[in-house]
Amino acid sequence: IDGKYYATDDTCTHMGASLSEGKLEGSAITCGWHGAQFDCKTGKLEKFPAKINDLKSYNISVESDNVFVEV
């Protein structure tokens, strides 16, 4: 997003759907199952009727042509 890399868990905290099967618009990841929406920069829940957990987000580093995710 805007030349930067971000990493979060791929599993929606609502019912375990793969977020890679959802939709990314701007920095918002929307779950394809029930529409939970998370900020992919922070993992924070942005929109959903019920309170569910945020996504875990990970630190990223870039060295030359390599992108590393700290897990």
- pLDDT (tens digit per residue) in 21-71: 999 999 999 999 999 999 999 999 999 999 999 999 999 999 999 999 999
Classify 55 in phi/psi space as left (phi over 0), alpha (psi -120 to 50) or beta.
beta
Q: Is the Cα dihedral 19, 13, 16, 37 positive or negative? A: negative
pTM attached to this predicted model: 0.90
Q: Given this model, what pLDDT does residue 41 score?
A: 97
Amino acid in position 16: G
In the chain, what are the domain boundaries?
7-59
How many residues in the chain?
71
**More confident of the two residues 3 and 25:** 25
Q: Domain 7-59: which topology?
A: Rieske Iron-sulfur Protein (2.102.10)
Average pLDDT over residues 11-27: 97
